[in-house]
Structure 1
């Protein structure tokens, strides 16, 4: 028998519900974490228009020539290389990506074009970091840990990162079947 992935509605944490709705969401998270180890979320508070714009700008950026994209190539001071990078030709993972750390880190290398890419990526990063903090606090409570235990444990968020990926069409293996 297959079961569906637990889905948690986070809208009560964004002013769209009452304490009972928050309690229900926490119960779903608690059960999902103890039974499966994961869950999916909906109504996460990240504006859909922002996510759509980020995808649109990512497609535009990855559509540029390699010469243009390479102008955003890695900054070496970061824990991982930030900016644009492409997997080696021999790699089975045929992808290219734009990697960034928290906007305030000073490590990020952004492309000049599309013009609003930097602003949108930083906005997405901030929203996702806030969402991560919310989920962390909910899980903290579900585990019965002292208040802010996970927040204090994970206090250094400077190594958090986000990447926009573009995967090339598969060229190895069997054709469609």
Structure 2
């Protein structure tokens, strides 16, 4: 069981309300140091075509071993060189994705007093939130979020599932059908691969004229599962870069430190001899 604070160390300010208040400048605690900011177009030049890796998900399960091997090779290359890739032929309809985005836009456009009924705490983070981490005075992300446990059902807090918009429960059924089409487990691949695969930071340049909705799904292991570099990837020339830790220990670190970027993973590295 994780040892977390029961409440946030400071009053929670909703970023959406702050942005709508007419402020002329972003408050200091939301401003990232230069080393933590994404590069703007003026900071670098890109080639005319940037070929982001694209994986055809159908080929991963193809009966043709050549297609399957090529898909796995592409995944390896994308994870080790880029740290991410785009997936096509994944089976999730564009209509469903569009509907889910519209549903959450509808929720975030509700009056703040309605959204406050689902306010979260550091205990599970489930519900309507505006900060990560429990360090007083820490820098914050310029965003609000809504976090829900979906599976297993035993972890789900039904009191945190919005009653409005009414489409929320209907979308839940549709998403359930998609999620149960396969079995997924997500743990930190940078640790498992002994840093062969890269964990890329999620950084976004804010658009002052338009808001942004992002949907993320996290597939986590059991809380007591030990996470460590795979034995097959540890050699004399490349010793284990990370100490063993349970997923609960890893998650407690993330929830305590908050949005401290790639330092979260790098700081876990074992000291080299």
TM-score with structure 2 setting the length:
0.41
Q: Counterparts of 1:20-31 in structure 2 under 5 Å?
A: 20-31=66-77
| Cα shift at 1:87 | 4.6
User: How has the CA–CA distance of structure 1 residues 36 and 94 changed in structure 2, closer, same or farther, with 3 Å as cutoff?
Assistant: closer
Greater per-residue helix proportion: 1
- Structure 1 residue aligned with 2:162: 111
| Cα shift at 1:24 | 2.2
Q: Counterparts of 1:5-154 in structure 2 under 5 Å?
A: 5-13=52-60, 18-74=64-120, 79-87=123-131, 93-103=141-151, 104=153, 105-108=155-158, 109-121=160-172, 123-124=174-175, 127=178, 133=184
| Cα shift at 1:48 | 1.8
d(CA) in 1 for partners of 2:173, 2:129? 18
Unpaired stretches in structure 1, ≥5 consecutive residues: 144-153, 160-177
Unpaired stretches in structure 2, ≥5 consecutive residues: 1-45, 133-137, 194-219, 225-246, 248-273
User: How has the CA–CA distance of structure 1 residues 36 and 87 changed in structure 2, closer, same or farther, with 3 Å as cutoff?
Assistant: closer
- Structure 2 residue aligned with 1:163: none
d(CA) in 2 for partners of 1:129, 1:80? 24
Q: Check whether the contact 1:70–1:85 (CA below 8 A) recurs between aligned residues.
A: no
| Cα shift at 1:55 | 0.3
Q: Check whether the contact 1:44–1:131 (CA below 8 A) recurs between aligned residues.
A: no
d(CA) in 2 for partners of 1:41, 1:20? 19
| Cα shift at 1:20 | 3.3
Per-residue displacement from partner, 1:41-96 (whole Å, max 9, x unpaired)? 2222222221111101001111100011112222x5x85321112359x9653322
Greater per-residue strand proportion: 1
Q: Check whether the contact 2:186–2:221 (CA below 8 A) recurs between aligned residues.
A: no
Asked which structure has the greater CA Rg, the reply is 2
Q: Check whether the contact 1:6–1:32 (CA below 8 A) recurs between aligned residues.
A: yes
- Structure 1 residue aligned with 2:242: none
Q: Check whether the contact 2:185–2:221 (CA below 8 A) recurs between aligned residues.
A: no
d(CA) in 2 for partners of 1:53, 1:27? 33
| Cα shift at 1:28 | 0.8
User: How has the CA–CA distance of structure 1 residues 131 and 39 changed in structure 2, closer, same or farther, with 3 Å as cutoff?
Assistant: farther
